[in-house]
Amino acid sequence: MESAESLELFDVRRLLIGEEIPYAFLWEVLARTTIMFFIVLFVLRLSGKRGIKQLSVFELAIIISLGSAAGDPMFYEDVALLPAILVFVIVISLYKFITYLTGRFEKVEEFVEGKPVKLIENGRILYQSFRKESLAYNELFSQLRQNSVSHLGQVELAYLETSGDLSVFYFPDEKVLFGLPILPNIYDFPCKEFKEGKLYSCTHCGEIEIELNENTACQICGEQDWLVAINEPRLK
């Protein structure tokens, strides 16, 4: 790095490409940017939908790529502007190209944007789908409570969207099923005693059983925590 005395301000070559970097290095920038863009996109797809609400994984990859390209040239004298500008051009070009492909090919759209995942059907958590999403019960139940759901029997269908939001479809009041209570003051205290004739719901998947004891395992998920199922209509 040059000393303060020898540094020539606004030197055109240093400003655009750097003191010792050949212009052929821009081809390497093209390769590096393309590789890193797809690495970021792939890693974000693997990380799931949590924490990226309101943005798709694809849009988040664009923002990260552009943010990384914009940062260093702002305050490092040995980081030239031209490679950063090229990164912007490449990322935007990739964005336009991939957007075009997603509009033409369903498989590309599925890879880039993902697909909505059904998490609840007929008042029961689809346990395998739920586990694949690495979603916490508290997070799922919190989103349901924000939609005025007090137990799973009120929910006909629920989908985890690609944005991370939860879309909920309800049973009409006259068709509400017995389901797992999800209010904290009830959910946090599983049953210790079981009475004949009552319906019980598994706290992990919402499966309903009637003949239970303290050692009964759920047939769906294998867990042994139960709550008394309720079928109250949803408050509106």
**Residues 67 and 128 occupy one common structural domain:** no
> Is 6 inside a domain boundary?
no
**Residues 32 and 88 occupy one common structural domain:** yes
Instruction: Looking at the chain, list the stretches that DSSP marks H as alpha helix, in order from N- to C-terminal side.
Output: 12-16, 25-46, 57-71, 81-104, 106-113, 127-132, 137-146, 184-187
**Residues 97 and 134 occupy one common structural domain:** no
User: Is the pLDDT score of 118 beyond 90?
Assistant: yes
Conformational region of residue 57, where left means phi above 0, alpha means psi within -120 to 50, and beta covers everything else: alpha
> Is 5 inside a domain boundary?
no
How confident is the prediction for the chain on average, in pLDDT? 83
What pLDDT, on a 0 to 100 scale, did the predictor assign at position 140? 93
**Residues 96 and 122 occupy one common structural domain:** no
Cα–Cα distance, 150 to 126 (Å, whole number)? 18
| Domain closes at, from 93, 113, 133 | 113
> Is 234 inside a domain boundary?
no
Best CA proximity match to 163, nearest among 58, 38, 40: 58
**Residues 42 and 29 occupy one common structural domain:** yes
| Main-chain phi, psi angles of 216, to 5 degrees | -70, 130
Q: What are the strands, taking DSSP E only, across 39-188?
A: 117-121, 124-125, 155-160, 166-170
- Tally of domains within the chain: 2
Residue partners of 169: CB distance under 8 A and separation at least 6: 155, 156, 157, 158
> Is 2 inside a domain boundary?
no
Best CA proximity match to 121, nearest among 72, 170, 76, 163: 170
Conformational region of residue 141, where left means phi above 0, alpha means psi within -120 to 50, and beta covers everything else: alpha
**Residues 165 and 222 occupy one common structural domain:** yes
What value does the mean pLDDT take over residues 208-220? 86
**Residues 85 and 127 occupy one common structural domain:** no
| Domain closes at, from 68, 94, 113 | 113
117-121 and 124-125 as β-strands: parallel, antiparallel, unpaired?
Answer: antiparallel
Tokens of 71: 């940062």
| pLDDT band per the 50, 70, 90 thresholds, residue 1 | very low
| pLDDT band per the 50, 70, 90 thresholds, residue 148 | very high
> Is 96 inside a domain boundary?
yes
| Domain closes at, from 50, 78, 113 | 113
> Is 236 inside a domain boundary?
no
> Is 89 inside a domain boundary?
yes
User: Is the pLDDT score of 85 beyond 70?
Assistant: yes
**Residues 106 and 148 occupy one common structural domain:** no
pTM summary value: 0.68
pLDDT tens-digit series, residues 215-224: 889 999 999 9
| pLDDT band per the 50, 70, 90 thresholds, residue 79 | low
For residue 208, what is the enclosing H or E element? strand 208-209
Structural domain containing residue 37:
12-113
**Residues 121 and 219 occupy one common structural domain:** yes
> What CATH number has the domain bearing residue 141?
3.30.240.20
**Residues 107 and 124 occupy one common structural domain:** no
Cα–Cα distance, 8 to 6 (Å, whole number)? 6
Tokens of 185: 């003051």
**Residues 197 and 168 occupy one common structural domain:** yes
Q: What are the strands, taking DSSP E only, across 13-141?
A: 117-121, 124-125
> Is 172 inside a domain boundary?
yes
Tokens of 138: 């508290």
Sheet of 200-202, strand order:
208-209, 200-202, 226-228
CA distances from 117 to 135, 136, 139, 161 (A): 12, 15, 15, 7
Chain CA centroid to CA 73, Å: 31
**Residues 83 and 96 occupy one common structural domain:** yes
